[in-house]
Structures are given as structure tokens and as C-alpha cells.
Amino acid sequence: MKYFIVDVFTDKVFGGNPAGVCLLDEWLADGVMQNIAMENNLSETAFLVKRDGFYDLRWFTPEIEIDLCGHATMGSAYVLFNFVETAAEVLSFHTQSGVLTVERKEDMLWMDFPSRPPAPVEKYKVIGESLEINNYEVLKSADILIVLENEEAIKKVKPDFELLKKVKQEAGMPSDVFCVIITAPGSDCDFVSRVFAPNAGVNEDPVTGRAHCVMIPYWSKRLGKTTMKARQLSKRGGQIWCEDAGERVKIGGKAVLYLQGEIKL
């Protein structure tokens, strides 16, 4: 099968978040796709099957299938725009999280994703212990959002990932498919973040589209603006353009090709 690795939310290789993209004629067995994702050992590998006017899309971490992934959706769109659907301007993907679209505008790709506004909850004890923080606010939707006071506090966090896994029980998360997001106002952008998903086999994700489905409605309300710029402060780092569109969010970024080849089964 044709296989690509695309660095997403960056304009340079070795930046952003690398996504594996597999183009299929029909679905492989779930176990085979999980093994491919484990072999790739990227935070997510996307699998696509073309249908009549759209693509079915699924995402796997090295350990589990997940219900929503931003960077691997943008990486999939990048591959299709450049190698398959070269005349297209908008692509439609059918996923576990509904229909997602990606539009290309010059050198930018814009994803249309569901908004997941978080609501305040108690300060889970394991959060403070595992991240070694004291002054924080906790909110929850499909993911857990922790708000810190400033960008420097985000940079200083050194998680105990084994302890952080225990937030699943304390927060009553229904499965392992969730992120723990830490965020704060940015010094040269509207907000910054880091994202952890140890329950899903990804200790720290380099740049996370799905996390912005939670952060965009939060920061839009807090800042009183609908268009924003964000940065994710992982080692690789990435830039994200954001728009609050009510029940949907627009997530923009750039992407570059790192690898093109074939997987032999």
C-alpha cells in the first residue's frame, strides 16, 4: 500500500507533528491496522478508503484506535491534495466524529471540526500530583483542560506519566481515548499548550488538532475574539490558526512531506 509521513502544523521537516498516512483500496483487519500503527510508532497513523465523493478515515495510535485526530486528518488531506485529488479544493472525510472537511487556501489547510467546549469541574488531586502544579483550573469535555497562569508555567511542567494515567478514574473518563491538555496565555500568540495522552500510548503529543476543539471555544470566550493564533510547546513545536465558528471550529496550519513509499504486507 502507498504510505506517506507528513509533518503537520509546520512549514519545515522535523517540526510539527508527523502523521502516517496509508491509502487503502478496502479496509484491512483492525488488528493489521493496529500493527501497522505500532510498527510506525508515530502518535497517529491514518487509514483512508475512497468512496463515492468522500473518504472514510480512521486513526490509530501505537496502542489503540481513537475517535478524532487533527494532525493526521490534515496530513491525509495534504497527501490527497498533492498526489491523488490534485484538482480538489475541499475534501470530505467520514469518521467516528462525523463528517470532517479540509479546505486548501494557498499554502494553508483549514479543517472544519466539531467544537467541544469544556465545563469547569473539581481540581482532580492526581492532576496536581502528576504535573507538580498548585495554581490551576480544571475543565472537561471529551478531553481534560488544565489552565495555568502563564506560558512559563507550561514550559516547566514535567509530568509523571504513570501517575497521570490515574486521572481516568478520578475524572470518570469512559475510555482511554482522551487527552490531558495544559494551556495558558501566550507571550507572542493568543494561547499556548502542551498535550499528554499516556492512556492512549502517547505520553506527549507534538501538536494536537483535537485538543484545539476544546481550547478554541474556551479561549474565544475568555479573550472575546473568534480568530486566534496558538502555539504548542512540545520539543518539535507547532503553530495553529484558530477560529471559533459556534458549533464548529476552524483549525488551520501548514504541512510538509517527509517520506513517500510503500508498506509491504
Catalytic amino acids? 44
Phi-psi region of 241 (alpha: psi -120 to 50; beta: other; left: phi over 0): beta
**Per-residue CA distances from 190 to 8, 140, 186, 240, 255 (Å):** 20, 21, 5, 10, 21
**In whole angstroms, what is the distance from residue 97 CA to residue 116 CA?**
11
**In whole angstroms, what is the distance from residue 184 CA to residue 205 CA?**
17
